[in-house]
Amino acid sequence: MMKTGFKFRNIIIYSALIIASAVFLAPIVIILINSVKGNFYISDAPFSLPDKDTFVGLQNFIKGFTQSDFMRSFAVSAFITVFSVTGIVISTSMTAWYIVRVRNRFTKIIYYLFVFSMIVPFQMVMYTVTYYAFELHLNNPIGIVFIYLGFGSGLSVFMFSGFIKSIPTEIEEAAVVDGCSPIKTFFLVIFPILKPTAITVAILNAMWIWNDYLLPYLVLGSGSDKTLPVAVQMALTGGYGNKDMGALMAMLVLAILPIIIFYLFCQKYIIKGVVAGAVKG
């Protein structure tokens, strides 16, 4: 008697979870279905499955690739994300170590400035940072890496500092006694200890920079150096006359696909990182 009650409860829970998952997956599935349908059928019957009349195979994907300069935007986004994240992880972990170990009024002020920057919304500096980016000739994919280093440093320094405070100084002092310079001590002794935090910092920054729209739009514009989110926004809002819905659907699929593949492979780290970031931030 008890046992059947138990099973009944499980059926209800599973049904609820299956319905929730279906609702959560539906938007992605709808986009996927429409990306292999002919142009006309997308706007006419957006929720029907493709059949032999409406199925166009990979035609939309070929158009999405060629028309919107997709590959170039993808490469620009990848370049900016990889170099910004690498730069942020290395330089902010060094800064955090310096701030925590050299304790004086100056480093204290710097620390609080970094923490303060975390609560300032982008719109506050949107106009001025764009101006300085142009003045200092940072309005190119290499220059924007430097700007991302500045914007990413608040949260990253904060997270590294929190962890470094828990590392006993004896370890570093032993390295110094053995004749290590601060640079050697940092890279050979401290940085390996920081690895879990470094992974968290890398994931949080990578997700933000890869998906960021406004900063690259204002600084790099919508020309040949546009990032992927800018390319998507341009393709779906700009242009005259009839939009090629098929190519647009394919483009959305292509924009989501790399993230989902990345997620399925590094799921454990991503979920851990996002939770750690949430609790600390």
Least separation, in Å, of the C-beta of 78 and other proteins?
14
Distance of alpha carbon 25 from alpha carbon 16, whole angstroms: 14
Kindly tell me which residue out of 76, 80, 94, 194 binds other proteins, with binding defined by CB under 8 A.
Answer: 94
Q: Which of 235, 247, 268, 254 is nearest to 42 (CA)?
A: 247
User: Is 30 an interacting residue with respect to other proteins (CB under 8 A)?
Assistant: yes
Distance of alpha carbon 160 from alpha carbon 15, whole angstroms: 42
Distance of alpha carbon 28 from alpha carbon 251, whole angstroms: 13
Distance of alpha carbon 101 from alpha carbon 124, whole angstroms: 32
Least separation, in Å, of the C-beta of 222 and other proteins?
13
User: Is 16 an interacting residue with respect to other proteins (CB under 8 A)?
Assistant: yes
Least separation, in Å, of the C-beta of 157 and other proteins?
7
Contact in structure between 27 and 232 (CB atoms under 8 Å): no
Least separation, in Å, of the C-beta of 99 and other proteins?
7
User: Is 129 an interacting residue with respect to other proteins (CB under 8 A)?
Assistant: yes
Q: What angle do CA 48, 52, 54 make, to 5 degrees?
A: 50
Tokens 């050697």 locate to 184
3-state secondary structure of 37: strand
Contact in structure between 205 and 156 (CB atoms under 8 Å): yes
User: Is 101 an interacting residue with respect to other proteins (CB under 8 A)?
Assistant: yes
Least separation, in Å, of the C-beta of 249 and other proteins?
8
Kindly tell me which residue out of 1, 24, 192, 240 binds other proteins, with binding defined by CB under 8 A.
Answer: 24
Least separation, in Å, of the C-beta of 237 and other proteins?
6
Q: Which of 128, 117, 276, 267 is nearest to 196 (CA)?
A: 276
Residues in contact with other proteins, shown as a per-residue x/- string from 138 to 157 under the rule CB under 8 A: x-------xxxxxx-xx--x
Using the 8-state DSSP alphabet, how is residue 124 labeled?
G
DSSP code string of 49-81: PP-TTTB-TTHHHHHHHHHTTHHHHHHHHHHHH
Determine the interface stretch with other proteins among 56-64, 67-75, 128-136, 194-202 (rule: CB under 8 A): 128-136
Distance of alpha carbon 88 from alpha carbon 198, whole angstroms: 10
Instruction: Tell me which residues in 31-60 interact with other proteins (CB under 8 A).
Output: 31, 34, 43, 46-47
The CA–CA distances, whole Å, from 27 to 37, 161, 253 equal: 16, 40, 11
Kindly tell me which residue out of 58, 62, 109, 120 binds other proteins, with binding defined by CB under 8 A.
Answer: 120
Least separation, in Å, of the C-beta of 179 and other proteins?
12
Instruction: Tell me which residues in 154-193 interact with other proteins (CB under 8 A).
Output: 154, 157, 169, 172-173, 176, 181-183, 186
Instruction: Tell me which residues in 200-259 interact with other proteins (CB under 8 A).
Output: 207, 210-214, 229, 232-233, 236-237, 249, 252, 255-256, 259
Determine the interface stretch with other proteins among 52-60, 67-75, 133-141, 192-200 (rule: CB under 8 A): 133-141
User: Is 263 an interacting residue with respect to other proteins (CB under 8 A)?
Assistant: yes
Distance of alpha carbon 153 from alpha carbon 94, whole angstroms: 11
Kindly tell me which residue out of 14, 40, 55, 112 binds other proteins, with binding defined by CB under 8 A.
Answer: 14
